[in-house]
Structure formats: C-alpha cells, structure tokens
Structure 1
Amino acid sequence: MQQLNVIGLDQQHAEQLAEKLNQLLSNYQVFYMNVRGFHWNIKGQEFFELHAKFEETYNDLLMKIDEIAERILTLGQRPLHAYSTYIKNSSIREAKDIHDGKACVREILESYQTTIRLQRELLELAGQADDEGTSALMSDYIKEQEKTAWMLTSYLGS
C-alpha cells in the first residue's frame, strides 16, 4: 500500500527527494561560505566590481539555502544543519586563501556546474515523484544559473 505524506506525495519518493535536497543544501552551504570569503578577501584592479558581484551572489545563495531547507521540511523531512555534515556531504570543497579575481570567478563557475548537475538530477527525481513544487524550484534555479554560468565564462574570456 502506498503511504502518502501531508502534501500527497509517496512517502518513499519524498524521502529520496529530501536526501538529494540535503546533498544540494550541503553544496550550497559550502558554496555560500566560499563566496563570502571571496567577497571579504578580493584584491586587485577589479575589487569594486567583484566585491559587489560576490555580495550579490552570496545573498542569492543564502536565499536558496533557506528555500531548499524549507522544501525539505515541506516534504516532511529534516534538513541537515551542521557545518561538519555539510562539508562531508558536499562535492564543492572549501576554497581557502583565494583573493585573485579570476581564480574566484573560476571557483564560482565550477560550483555552479556542480549545483546545476545536482539540480538536474533532482528535476528528474521530482518528475518521477510527480512533485511539482521541487520541479518548479529546480527549473527556476537551473534557468538562472545557466545564464550566470554563461556570463562568468564570458567574463573569463573562455
């Protein structure tokens, strides 16, 4: 017999989605802290431009962190909430002592590539679970981040 959660999704699907969302949450948390560090430590001729861009980026990441955690709760599951757990579950690694603008942008671009890949996996899982809420969230993130990745690639001259 199929067991449904409070929003009418199959419980097993909800658990699988929450597990993958927690993986995404972990990646976003490490990504956020990396960009925070870039914002604080950027040096050079592009300081003003990148300092502002990094602040815009980490504010956006912070909003998404909250949305992902709330989506996990909506699915009837618990979001991870310990930084040691985030580090362990994240594919994105801590970026330490980076203050060169192009190096920071390359790190951000790589992090977007990781989150986009995970979000596509979530989009597929959400489709299988008939979970429109998670699908919509992932679609929005992917669309926005693909454009940002293109812009960052252009910035790097690639």
Structure 2
Amino acid sequence: MSPYQKPHMLERDSLGRLVLIDAGGNRNVGVYPVRAFPITAPGAGISLIDQSGKELCWFDDVGAIPEAELGLIEEEMAAREFMPVIEKIIKVSTFATPSIWDIETDRGPTRIRLKGEEDIRRIAGNTLLIADSNGLQFLIKDSTQLDKVSKKLLDRFR
C-alpha cells in the first residue's frame, strides 16, 4: 500500500492497540497517529506511523478521514498528546527568573516554575509555548485574548 492511500480499515485489537488493515489484508498492529502541525494547524496533515516510525498512511485533511476511523485516531491522539492550554495567569512570584507562576489551564489550576525568559517561545503569530522547569509544555493559543491581568504579567517576561 502506498503511504498516501487511505487505509482499508482501522480498528482496535483486544489489547487496545490501533490496527491498520491495508487493502492487501495486511495487519499493522500498534500504529499511532502523528499531526504534521500540532500547534499551528492541528486539522491539517495526519500520518499513521508503525512502531518502527515508518509512515503507513497520510491524510492531508482531518475532514477526509471517515468518521469511525477519525474517532479512533482522536482517541489515540488524546492519550498521546498532553499540552495544557493556559487560559489565565493568576500571579507570579517575582518578575525575575526563576519564578513561580500560578495559572489556570483547560485542565484546571496549577503552579509552574519558569527557569528563564527563554522558556517562553513565540510559535506563530500570538501563539506562545511555555516550558516549565520539569519540561512540561504549556500553550497560550492567542496571547491577545488573555484577560488584562494575565497580559500584564506575561508582558513583564517578554
């Protein structure tokens, strides 16, 4: 099967692994989806990869994936992708680094430690990626959409 053809069928096996059955009936066990542009264009470009990292299938657009298969792909990506979105910056311990930030994310409140200003990176436009001292990545989708207090606190570090 060419890596650019749609799979014949996608299913889960009894162990919960994703299985791609190609047009020739070959079962590829343990495949996983990878987004081409997970932050800037999450709906564009998804690849199904085997356990050795070989691309088995490519979708230019999420809309091209049949609904049942898309459900399995989204379940798998939700289990693999973990990038909380910062919705609000409550307070920072100091405007020098390192500093402790109390934040609200889409997964609830938390506290992160920012080692240095270089841990705040602009990805595209107003999208920011913040790495805490433990290596976790936090996303601010659009810094202009934060509340006034959050923007003021963030501006002290950029």
Please tell me the TM-score bracket, short chain as reference. under 0.3
**Higher-helix-fraction structure:** 1
Report the TM-score, using the length of structure 2 for normalisation.
0.24
**Higher-strand-fraction structure:** 2
Report the TM-score, using the length of structure 1 for normalisation.
0.24
Higher relative contact order (CA closer than 8 Å, sequence separation 6+): 1
Structure with max Cα Rg: 2
